[in-house]
Structure 1
């Protein structure tokens, strides 16, 4: 009987799908001993010289991980034979500083330990380091990801949250990746740093006077200020506004406090505060920054482990913008 049970268990093990790749905190301890120091030096220097790097890299990380997992596919450049993810419409506004800090880190690591550290691991650690630098919570990043082989712009549409989506659509995107509504709201707190381009919220502020009584999402003075700031957006599409106008360069819970005051930019931001599924968590994080930080750190750790590649499913790229 014991032998039969052992045979059945072995058969089930063979038939079962492979488990998530195992990642380790000290993955590069022997193969690249200076990994942590190089990453810290690179991210610190870049953030000091370009203060928008933290928000830019955080957004880049989201756009990488939410589409087919954290495999560095967002970093790949298009070729004559393939239009990559980074050239999909929603990714065209990803800031150059985010790509630059990854290139700098990869260059330094290739000199120290050639063909050892993946671009996916670099992006994950750079994001954590930069979030911490601007006041956000520290969280563990487990290492050993491989870089993916596939990056196609055609796979992006509908798989990344857009500010024009309704809350059900956004919740579904996260739910399909195993994230609860509460975790989705916590991750939305990333909007406490960074900015949004005027074209992403312009329709709401210019229609404000027509809908103010029935749909008072924007503080009226705030809407007027946004109209002035974005007045020339058609001629200058790079015009943008800080997501959190109170403490734009500090990672804190002011983003959540701003929502009920009508001081948010995007339609999706307003929906967080009005939808009964998400509003309780907005109120919770607005009232308790420590609770927000704990939830954000846990959700980021989970996201950084989502869909990682291992073994022959990936590689260690020599350059982050091209498959070997």
Structure 2
């Protein structure tokens, strides 16, 4: 029987979010209803509110979430009621050309729940952020968007693997291939950038350089494993990274901002045959111009990272295990715990750079 629960929506571009009643249908074939325990407040949610993703308002916001499966639909075998899960926004299909080539993290046909959640007062269909919509007491998702993990883990911490932390960690480890002894530079020390720093540290990088224009963020990056910091407002980023890497440049540079000027810094700050990884999300109008002779002459690789090129079924349980063992400090990403009614205020704090992640706890 459909349920009516409280959830946070963006009704129109730029308008403050609203806490409203939402109808969640029973799960159909291949779907699951999840009782949400936590959901991080991510920049992507703000982009949805501002119309920066698309104009399919109203949006049900929230996507960095963990919770407990309440019910599943016909044919679901991945999870069962009572399972503690992290939600992901790239449920792989298993049938596309990427999946069939053994590279499901590149799946070209990821899917979401087929049914729609609706506004209780009007019946209007909601567009769930990244196919999840988790600023809500209970949400409807595709069963493949649920990854079962250790139920003893703190939901507020491990739920962040659902987006930003996984994107950053994976950008360094999966996409960038950071390994022991590498030098790594990370440009942009928000949640994603700090996750890349933490990932590089876990993977064994010996020189990890944090770059930002905010001294508060640079100081915070040290807690995630940064061995050196560079303030791009007062220092020449490329020259400083070269100085810190024996004059050569970093083996891997992760760009976690998504701007042409920082991407250019990343390009020139890498060693010959080094790797640049773009994980910062640019707006559609951003363009970068580089001399082709430099692209050719430097060799190496210029990569973009989709969700940290992660495979949730492989990576989420592993990272939760590292967290439980004290080897990957997910708690450090949780700046504050808030209620469903506090999302708008959390957006303000995020824009002012006061938090890594505000986390809604239900």
Q: TM-score range by the shorter chain?
A: under 0.3
Higher relative contact order (CA 8 A, sep 6+): 1
Structure with more of its chain in helix, by fraction? 1
Structure with more of its chain in strand, by fraction? 2
- If you compute each CA radius of gyration, which structure gives the higher value, 1 or 2? 1
| TM-score, length of structure 2 as denominator length | 0.25
